[in-house]
A = this chain, B = another copy of it.
Amino acid sequence: MKFQQKLNGIVAKNNSLLCVGLDPDLDKLPKHLLEKEDPIFEFNKEIIDATFDLVCSYKPNIAFYEAYGIEGLKSLKKTLEYLQEKCPEIPIILDAKRGDIGNTAARYAKAVFEYWNVDAVTVFPHLGKDALEPFLKYDDKLVILLIKTSNPDAGIFQNLQVGDEPYYLKVAKTVKEWNFSNVGLFVGATYPKELADVRALFPDSVFLTAGVGAQGAKTEEAVKAGVDKNGGNFICNNSREIIYASTEKDFTEAARTKALAIRDEINKYR
């Protein structure tokens, strides 16, 4: 099934554009989980159990697993298998920010779409078309290009002026000309003007954003700028505010309460 169909199904079912970022950090986990054999997997499992009827996607950022080496990646694998069994209708985005020349990009694409077996991946567009094609040929998967990142310094290079437009927009326009069917776009919610500009270029594509909440973006501005004409195709990630809503034994209830509040806040502006 194409990514976009899968997304539309769960957006309707859960009435949600909220994506929960599964970015575990052992220093922030509730203390009682540290006694478990695999604290990261246990944490993720409990967060998933508490939120799976409130979200349209889960997004593990692989950096948080790589930081713990092969043991961390085993926890990621268990988490992905758990998601695929527990809620196969929810698309999984692996936030891996990959990118390399064609021959090597094909190895990354094999890793994310065959080994990790996820529905979407984030990719750097800056290497050009031949470096994106190995990802894009998996045509039921979504390849989310990093057009404008959410960090404070994102504009240093991404907003450099190229002719009469900023670099990020020139990149987006060029990608649009290539006319791939399974391109998604990432624009940080911290930059609602950029988000609106890229949405105008890609009226029917799937957008991913992040930064609402923990990074200080305003929900109303971001949602209005990011949704399509039907109020959808917009995946709004939040990690820290939800998964670390409490770091005590009540963390699952706290995560659910926060996820519900953010879901409803997003829906108010769709």
Q: Which residues of A contact B (CB under 8 A)?
A: 23, 25, 61, 63-64, 66-70, 73-74, 77, 97-102, 104-105, 107-108, 110-111, 115-116, 124-131, 149-158, 160-163, 167, 170-171, 174
Contact = CB atoms under 8 A, between A and B. Distances in A.
Given A153-B129, A174-B156, A108 B66 contact: yes
8 contacts: A63-B104, A69-B77, A70-B73, A70-B77, A124-B124, A124-B126, A128-B151, A131-B149
A160 B162 contact: yes
A62 to B, nearest CB: 9
Contacts of A61: 100, 104, 107
Copies in the complex: 2
Nearest to A111: B66
Contacts of A98: 63, 97
B162 A115 contact: no
A158 B126 contact: yes
A70 to B, nearest CB: 6
A209 to B, nearest CB: 13
Contact of A127 (B70, B125, B130, B149): B149
A153 B167 contact: no
Given A97-B98, A125-B157, A155-B128, A66 B107 contact: yes
A216 to B, nearest CB: 13
B74 A99 contact: no
Contacts of A108: 63, 66-67
A105 B64 CA distance: 9
Contacts of A69: 77, 111, 115-116
Contacts of A110: 67
A73 B155 CA distance: 35
A157 B131 contact: no
Given A130-B152, A167-B162, A64 B157 contact: no
A54 to B, nearest CB: 24
Given A68-B115, A128-B155, 7 more contacts: A63-B100, A124-B126, A126-B126, A126-B158, A127-B153, A128-B152, A129-B153
